[in-house]
């Protein structure tokens, strides 16, 4: 992965506001919440799904009950982000944090969900649980692009967007924390899914009809939930977008480096020492020194390679949909070149053995250095790992569908040449366009794409095209299209053969 990847009994169901002075109210296991009625939907923002703030670096604990009705009308804090210092920091923060407004408020007090529910009174609705991307370094359920009101209003689906901890706060790799508890961020996600199971009926949802979906690191999180599924299972279907590849974990040296920089090396308990340091200082240290933290492959919340697990049946056997963008790599190439000048061969050297650097560089030698980098990253990090994933799932008898997104629009383009960049399909999926200047094609394609995601959540048997078993995928938004067309998977995988020895590896 490119730095960097749900009361117990029936009760009140969210109902439409009777007049301007009536707000939707729901009774949950932990107390009453009061949301906001908007046209066609009720939204409940900032509902605690775990104790918040959590103990720093530790697994989440059950949320405490509240006695007075909880005002759920405001978006919650985002968990503490990591945008590494350097020339690319401001660009990355603006693009991925909140492109159309001020930067989000960060806090350790962040373990909340936002629920968007239809105003129709029927029960047993399908539920979609959203996990954001951000390389497991940053991200927030409060980002403007993750407004689930259209899913509720237009698709009669309940959408739940969850916060989870990232970077060192979510994936510390501290050896003083038991291995199965180190991935606090993944445990946050599992706790949020359990909250959905316990509470979603109060909003009119069916806990047996949950689809988990995510983009980038969110898609990677979905894949890990399938690879090491909770028992009982908390979802019946899954959608992953541009989930990428993570072949090796980051070394525990990241934790050791942080410990040294905050002068905790000689402490009897380095963990206790670091926990005494203000979170903002920890954030400043990891950003200034570019210390990146990613999951420990503990076999409890994460594995290094899911492919061999399909044959063993360990992967949750639920219908899956996955896909990538035609130009996933452009934004990363842009960031790399903001940091400094580099050739493709220089970029490849830490990734591949010297004996194959020239071969790989030659395969992606067309165009400028930007073109070369973006083409390589698109294929190596996103598109080509999807091929063996879908093939392994299909061979083992899993039902999996694939899409390929090609559309791009001027009002979403962060720089010239970005095209169908990583994350750019999000407004289409949420059918919400906070960036001004949306074109008629953009709006029509948004309705089309959201209907696909909603159809799959309501009926996981098919999103509307044949599965990977038939050797096809759905090409969405090609050349100004307002829909999609079926094409052979080979049409987009023809450049992936060079990576087969890398991605067709074995071992958990």
Helix, strand or coil, per DSSP, at residue 419: coil
Q: For position 15, what pLDDT does the model report?
A: 37
- Give the integer Cα–Cα distance in Å for 289 and 481: 44
pLDDT of residue 251: 54
pLDDT at 506: 42
> How many residues in total does the chain contain?
508
Q: What is 1-304's CATH superfamily? A: Alpha/Beta hydrolase fold, catalytic domain (3.40.50.1820)
Instruction: Please name the residue that has the structure tokens 């530790």.
Output: 58
Residues of each domain in the chain carrying CATH 3.40.50.1820: 1-304, 325-508
Q: What's the 3-state SS for 435-448? A: CCCCCHHHHHHHHH
Give dist(CA 11, CA 155) in Å, integer. 23
Distance CA 250, CA 297 (A): 10
CATH architecture of 325-508: 3-Layer(aba) Sandwich (3.40)
Largest CA distance in the chain: 71
d(CA 300, CA 248): 17
* 360: helix, strand or coil: helix
* Per-residue pLDDT, 19: 43
- pLDDT at residue 500, rounded to an integer: 84
Give the Å distances, CA to CA, from 85 to 36, 150, 287, 366.
38, 36, 5, 31
Predicted confidence at residue 504, as pLDDT, reads 63
Beta-strand pair 31-34/25-28: antiparallel
pLDDT at residue number 435: 87
Tell me 431's DSSP state.
T
Distance CA 130, CA 115 (A): 10
Look at residue 421 in the predicted model and tell me its pLDDT.
98
Give me the tens of pLDDT residue by residue for the chain, a chain 508 residues long.
433 333 323 233 333 333 445 899 999 999 999 999 999 999 999 999 999 999 999 999 999 999 999 999 999 999 999 999 888 999 999 888 876 767 789 999 999 999 999 999 899 999 999 999 999 999 999 999 999 999 999 999 999 999 999 999 999 999 999 999 999 999 999 999 999 999 999 999 999 999 999 999 999 999 999 999 999 999 999 999 999 865 455 556 999 999 999 999 999 999 999 999 999 999 999 999 999 998 999 999 999 999 999 999 999 999 999 999 999 999 999 999 999 999 999 999 999 999 999 999 999 999 999 999 999 999 999 999 999 999 999 999 999 999 999 999 999 999 999 999 999 999 999 999 988 899 999 999 999 999 999 999 999 988 999 999 999 999 999 988 899 999 999 999 999 999 988 876 444 4
């Amino acid at each position: 992965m490119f730095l960097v990847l749900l009361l117990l009994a029936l009760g009140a169901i969210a109902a439409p506001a009777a007049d301007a002075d009536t707000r939707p109210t729901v009774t949950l296991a932990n107390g009453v919440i009061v949301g906001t009625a908007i046209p066609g939907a009720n939204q409940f923002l900032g509902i605690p799904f775990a104790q918040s703030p959590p103990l720093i670096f530790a697994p989440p604990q059950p949320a405490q009950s509240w006695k007075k009705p909880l005002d759920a009308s405001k978006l919650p804090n985002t968990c503490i982000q990591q945008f590494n210092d350097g020339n690319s920091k401001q660009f990355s923060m603006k693009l991925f944090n909140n492109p159309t407004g001020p930067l989000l408020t960060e806090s350790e007090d962040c373990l909340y969900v936002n629920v968007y529910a239809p105003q129709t009174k029927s029960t047993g609705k399908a539920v979609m649980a959203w996990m954001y991307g951000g390389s497991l370094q940053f991200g927030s359920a409060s980002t403007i692009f993750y407004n689930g009101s259209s899913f509720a209003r237009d698709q009669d689906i309940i959408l739940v967007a969850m916060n989870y901890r990232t970077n060192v706060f979510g994936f510390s790799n501290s050896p003083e924390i038991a291995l199965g508890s180190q991935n606090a961020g993944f445990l946050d996600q599992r706790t949020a899914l359990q909250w959905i199971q316990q509470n979603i009926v109060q909003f009119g949802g069916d806990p047996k009809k949950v689809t988990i979906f995510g983009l980038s690191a969110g898609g990677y999180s979905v894949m890990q939930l399938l690879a090491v599924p909770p028992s009982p299972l908390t979802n019946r279907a899954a959608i992953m977008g541009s989930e990428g590849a993570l072949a090796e974990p980051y070394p525990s040296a990241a934790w050791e480096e942080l410990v040294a920089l905050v002068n905790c090396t000689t402490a009897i308990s380095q963990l206790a020492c670091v926990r005494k340091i203000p979170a903002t200082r920890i954030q400043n240290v990891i950003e200034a020194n570019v210390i990146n933290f990613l999951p420990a492959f503990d076999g409890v919340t994460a594995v290094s390679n899911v492919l061999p697990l399909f044959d063993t049946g360990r992967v949750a056997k639920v219908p899956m949909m996955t896909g990538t963008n035609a130009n996933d790599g452009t934004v990363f190439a842009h960031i790399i070149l903001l940091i400094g000048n580099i050739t493709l061969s220089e970029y490849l050297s830490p990734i591949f053995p010297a004996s194959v650097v020239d071969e790989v560089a030659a395969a992606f030698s067309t165009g400028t250095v930007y073109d070369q980098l973006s083409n390589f990253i698109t294929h190596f990090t996103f598109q080509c790992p999807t091929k063996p994933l879908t093939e392994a799932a299909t061979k083992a008898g899993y039902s999996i569908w694939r899409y390929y997104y090609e559309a791009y629009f001027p009002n979403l383009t962060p720089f010239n040449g970005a095209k169908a960049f990583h994350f750019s399909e999000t407004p289409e999926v949420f059918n919400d366009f906070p960036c001004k200047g949306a074109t008629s094609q953009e709006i029509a394609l948004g309705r089309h794409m959201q209907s696909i995601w909603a159809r799959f959540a309501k009926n996981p048997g098919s999103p509307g095209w044949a599965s990977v078993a038939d050797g096809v995928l759905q090409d969405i938004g090609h050349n100004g299209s307002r829909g999609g067309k079926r094409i052979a998977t080979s049409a987009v995988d023809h450049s992936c053969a060079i990576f087969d020895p890398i991605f067709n590896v074995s071992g958990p």
